[in-house]
C-alpha cells in the first residue's frame, strides 16, 4: 500500500481510464483507420501512466517538508519508504515510460515523437524541483500536462494515418479531442489553485509563492469563483450548440446533471469557503467534474449511434 500511495494510484487509474475511454468508447466507433493496435494502444496508456507515476514520486520526494506541515499522516517518503529507494523507483518508472515511448514512436514511423515523452518527463521533474514554487507557473504546467494526455491520443492514433481522403474526418475527430483537452485544462487549472488554497499554511512555511500567498485567501477564492464561470458557460454553450442542435438529448441531460450542476454547486460553495477542509472538498468536486466530463465522450458516442 505504501508504494501505491507513493505513486498516487487513484490519479493514475483516472488517467488510464480517461485514455481507454477515448479509444474504446469513442475512436473505435468512428469509421476511420487507427494507427495503433490494441496492444500498442495499451502500451501508450502504460507509458503515460508510468511517466505520470514518476512525476508523483519526484513530487513526493521534493514535498517532504511541505507535506509534513499540510498532510503529516499522508507522508510516505522518509517514513515508510526511504528517499534513496524513492529515487530508484522514480528512475525506473521514467526509463520504462520513455523506453515504451521510443518503441511506439518507431512503430508509427515517427521516431522524432520520442522527444514528447522525454519533454514530459523533464517537465514533471522541473515542476517538482522549481516550477511549482513560481506564481501560477506550476498550476499551468500541471493543467497543460493533463490536457496533453488527451492530445497525445490523436498524435499517436490519428496523425500517422492521415491522408487526403480522410483528412477532414480525422480533423473533426481531432477537434473533439482538443475540445475535451481544453475542458480538462481549465478545470484542472482551477483545481490546482484550489489545492494551493487548501495547502496555504504549509506552502507559506516553505517559502513558496502561490496565488493565495500572493493575493490572500479571500481574494484568491473570489478569483476562483470567477474562473469557475468560464467552464460553466463553455459547457452550456456546447450543450446548446452541439447536443441540443443535433437532438442528442441523452448527452444533454447527462451534461446538465453531471457537469453543469456540479459546477454550479462548486461556485456556490466557493463563495463561502474559508477553511482548509472546505477547499479540500471543493478540490474533490473538481476532480469528479473532470472525470464526469471525460466520461461524457462515451455518452455522446452512444447517443449519436442510437440517434442515427
Per domain, the residue ranges of the chain are 2-307
Which residues is 77 bridged to in the sheet?
81
Helix residue ranges per DSSP H, 25-136: 38-62, 64-70, 83-107, 114-129
| Cα(143)–Cα(227) distance, integer angstroms | 14
More confident residue, 261 or 5: 261
Which residues is 81 bridged to in the sheet?
77
User: Which H helix or E strand runs over 280?
Assistant: helix 276-307
Q: What percent of the chain has pLDDT over 70?
A: 95
With 60 as the cut, is the pLDDT of residue 92 above it? yes
The pLDDT confidence band at residue 5, using thresholds 50, 70 and 90, is: confident
The pLDDT confidence band at residue 69, using thresholds 50, 70 and 90, is: low
Cβ-proximal residues to 33 (8 Å cutoff; 6+ apart), any chain: 161, 166
With 70 as the cut, is the pLDDT of residue 176 above it? yes
With 90 as the cut, is the pLDDT of residue 245 above it? no
Residue 55: the pLDDT is 92
Describe the crossing of helices 83-107 and 38-62 by its angle, rounded to 10 degrees: 150
Instruction: Indicate the pTM of the whole model.
Output: 0.92
Cβ-proximal residues to 260 (8 Å cutoff; 6+ apart), any chain: 232, 235, 236, 239
The pLDDT confidence band at residue 7, using thresholds 50, 70 and 90, is: confident
- Which residue has 496533453 as its cell numbers? 148
In whole angstroms, what separates CA 123 from the centre of its chain?
A: 15
| Cα(239)–Cα(223) distance, integer angstroms | 25
Q: Tens digit of pLDDT for each residue in 147-163?
A: 999 999 999 999 999 98
Amino acid at each position: 500500500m505504501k508504494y501505491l500511495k507513493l505513486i498516487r494510484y487513484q490519479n493514475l487509474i483516472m488517467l488510464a481510464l480517461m485514455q481507454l475511454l477515448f479509444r474504446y468508447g469513442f475512436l473505435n466507433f468512428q469509421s476511420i483507420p487507427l494507427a495503433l493496435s490494441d496492444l500498442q494502444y495499451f502500451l501508450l496508456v502504460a507509458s503515460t501512466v508510468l511517466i505520470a507515476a514518476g512525476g508523483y514520486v519526484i513530487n513526493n520526494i521534493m514535498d517532504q517538508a511541505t507535506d509534513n506541515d499540510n498532510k503529516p499522516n499522508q507522508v510516505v517518503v522518509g517514513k515508510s519508504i526511504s528517499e534513496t529507494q524513492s529515487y530508484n523507483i522514480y528512475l525506473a518508472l521514467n526509463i520504462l515510460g520513455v523506453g515504451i515511448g521510443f518503441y511506439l514512436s518507431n512503430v508509427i514511423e515517427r521516431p522524432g515523437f520520442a522527444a514528447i515523452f522525454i519533454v514530459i518527463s523533464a517537465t514533471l521533474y522541473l515542476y517538482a524541483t522549481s516550477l511549482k514554487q513560481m506564481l501560477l507557473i506550476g498550476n499551468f504546467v500541471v493543467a497543460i500536462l493533463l490536457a496533453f494526455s488527451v492530445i497525445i491520443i490523436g498524435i499517436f492514433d490519428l496523425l500517422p494515418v492521415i491522408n487526403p481522403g480522410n483528412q477532414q474526418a480525422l480533423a473533426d475527430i481531432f477537434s473533439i479531442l482538443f475540445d475535451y483537452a481544453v475542458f480538462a485544462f481549465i478545470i484542472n487549472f482551477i483545481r490546482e489553485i484550489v489545492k494551493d488554497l487548501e495547502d496555504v499554511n504549509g506552502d507559506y512555511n516553505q517559502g513558496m509563492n502561490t496565488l493565495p500567498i500572493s493575493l490572500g485567501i479571500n481574494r484568491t477564492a473570489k478569483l476562483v469563483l470567477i474562473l469557475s464561470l468560464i467552464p460553466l458557460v463553455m459547457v452550456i454553450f456546447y450543450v446548446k450548440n452541439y447536443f441540443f442542435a443535433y437532438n442528442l438529448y441523452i448527452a444533454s441531460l447527462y451534461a446538465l446533471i453531471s457537469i453543469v450542476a456540479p459546477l454550479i454547486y462548486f461556485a456556490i460553495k466557493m463563495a463561502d469557503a474559508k477553511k482548509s477542509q472546505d477547499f479540500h472538498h471543493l478540490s474533490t468536486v473538481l476532480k469528479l467534474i473532470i472525470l464526469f466530463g471525460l466520461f461524457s465522450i462515451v455518452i455522446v458516442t452512444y447517443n449519436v449511434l442510437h440517434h442515427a
